[in-house]
């Protein structure tokens, strides 16, 4: 029998330390995120002419991030607040209450009657991840239908929640618009009671949105098939500059009697990317069901991250609940949306003046922060290598990166790589 003295332990450790178990030698590199890779390549480029069209966050006409005046004023209003330990129930409830008014309408019966479950989330990504986990727990055999294409992280989110993914047609590469007939066929052919993820406005990455009439047709077919619509609202206000207009799709579904879910983010439309402020809401049959679902969502968040940082939640809830700050935010949002629309028009006209053999009308037919340019991976690569212009290889351009000072250079570069078709 070994007597475990201090010297015995030391000698045993010395004799085995060289052969210590390597716990992580089987771990390889994770696949690079396509958007992060664009940013890394841009940052390493020393050219004074370089342009970053990869980042999905707003930039002003000088290419700089913007701190909105409503945010500055909101910061001043909450300075010295006592909410420093965790998110209080009142702050959390105010954020949720004001957030759902933005998407469902301030006079929606669901809100007045308490027939919704809502929780604050870590921006839109966190809200999607939270719903994916909720879906897996209570519909373990279900799948999620994602549009082709969609934001690349949607696939990661539902996969990591162990919810199998399926796809449905959305974008038509020839028309550079909506592939509506194929979309409707896929909705019709999906098994009844399927879960679908929808972009209510400013679709990422294409900038292609259904018309109001098409949304009504989609809603009717969802009703026939008893599908569950889950909306990812990441860019409310960026499609039209009007918060209510950009929520029209969701309100159509609401009018048609759907019980829907929604992930919201304030990263883009308030310029609060680093604060990670979002909301997840699920409409319910009655107030009793809402209480039960909210308790389950809170149970999931408790194990995931306990509670989100307090500062961003307090800031957003302050802006949304203060009439002056909210009105200021709406005006600033309109300015941002108008600048992006103006850059779309300027780029299209510049290409036309250069005698481009291609039709660039899709640049202004599409809406929101992104333009699905139609550029091929080879053309995107040439733009990066020869002109120091960076975007994802699917040709998605963040129009926020286009400015008055670089739009001519960008147009000439695009013309150069596309002039032979």
* Residues taking part in catalysis: 151, 232, 268
Cα separation, 380 vs 396, whole angstroms:
10
Cα separation, 320 vs 317, whole angstroms:
5
Could you give the maximum distance between any two Cα atoms of the chain, in Å?
91
Cα separation, 391 vs 34, whole angstroms:
9
User: Helix, strand, coil shares of the chain as percentages rounded to 5?
Assistant: 50, 15, 40
Identify the DSSP state of 357.
Answer: S
Cα distance between the two ends of the chain: 83
Angle between helices 310-321 and 89-104 (to 10 degrees): 50
Q: What is the dihedral of CA 286, 288, 294, 300, to 10 degrees?
A: -120
Cα separation, 56 vs 45, whole angstroms:
19
Nearest to 268 by CA among 231, 243, 234: 234
């Amino acid at each position: 029998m070994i007597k475990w003295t201090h010297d015995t332990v030391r000698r045993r450790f010395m004799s085995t330390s060289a052969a210590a178990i390597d716990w992580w030698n089987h771990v390889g590199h994770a696949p690079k995120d396509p958007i992060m890779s664009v940013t890394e390549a841009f940052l390493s480029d020393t050219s004074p002419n370089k342009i970053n069209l990869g980042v999905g966050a707003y930039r002003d006409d000088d290419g700089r991030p913007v701190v909105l005046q409503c945010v500055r004023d909101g910061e001043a209003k909450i300075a010295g607040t006592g909410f420093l330990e965790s998110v209080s129930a009142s702050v959390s409830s105010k954020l949720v209450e004001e957030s759902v008014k933005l998407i469902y309408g301030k006079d929606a019966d669901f809100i007045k009657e308490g027939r919704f479950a809502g929780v604050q989330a870590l921006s839109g990504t966190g809200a999607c991840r939270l719903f994916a986990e909720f879906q897996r727990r209570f519909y373990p055999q279900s799948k999620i239908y994602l549009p082709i294409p969609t934001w690349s992280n949607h696939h990661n989110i539902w996969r990591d929640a162990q919810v199998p993914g399926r796809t449905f047609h959305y974008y038509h590469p020839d028309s550079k618009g909506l592939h509506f007939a194929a979309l409707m066929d896929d909705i019709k052919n999906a098994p009844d009671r399927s879960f679908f993820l929808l972009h209510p406005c400013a679709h990422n990455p294409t900038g292609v949105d259904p018309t109001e009439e098409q949304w009504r047709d989609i809603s009717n077919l969802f009703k026939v098939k008893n599908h569950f619509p889950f909306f990812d609202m990441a860019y409310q206000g960026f499609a039209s500059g009007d918060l209510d207009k950009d929520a029209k799709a969701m309100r159509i579904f609401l009018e048609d009697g759907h019980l829907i879910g929604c992930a919201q983010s304030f990263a883009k439309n308030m310029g609060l990317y680093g604060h990670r402020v979002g909301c997840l809401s699920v409409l319910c049959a009655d107030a009793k069901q809402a209480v039960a679902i909210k308790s389950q969502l809170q149970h999931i968040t408790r194990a995931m991250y306990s509670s989100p940082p307090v500062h961003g939640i307090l800031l957003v809830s302050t802006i949304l609940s203060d009439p002056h700050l909210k009105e200021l935010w709406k005006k600033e949002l309109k300015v941002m949306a108008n600048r992006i629309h103006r850059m779309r028009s300027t780029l299209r006209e510049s290409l036309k003046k250069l005698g481009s053999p291609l039709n660039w009308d899709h640049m202004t037919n599409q809406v929101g922060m992104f333009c699905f340019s139609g550029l091929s991976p080879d053309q995107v690569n040439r733009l990066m290598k020869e002109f120091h212009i960076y975007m994802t290889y699917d040709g998605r351009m963040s129009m926020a990166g286009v400015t008055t000072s670089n739009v001519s250079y960008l147009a000439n570069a695009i013309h150069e790589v596309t002039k032979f078709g």
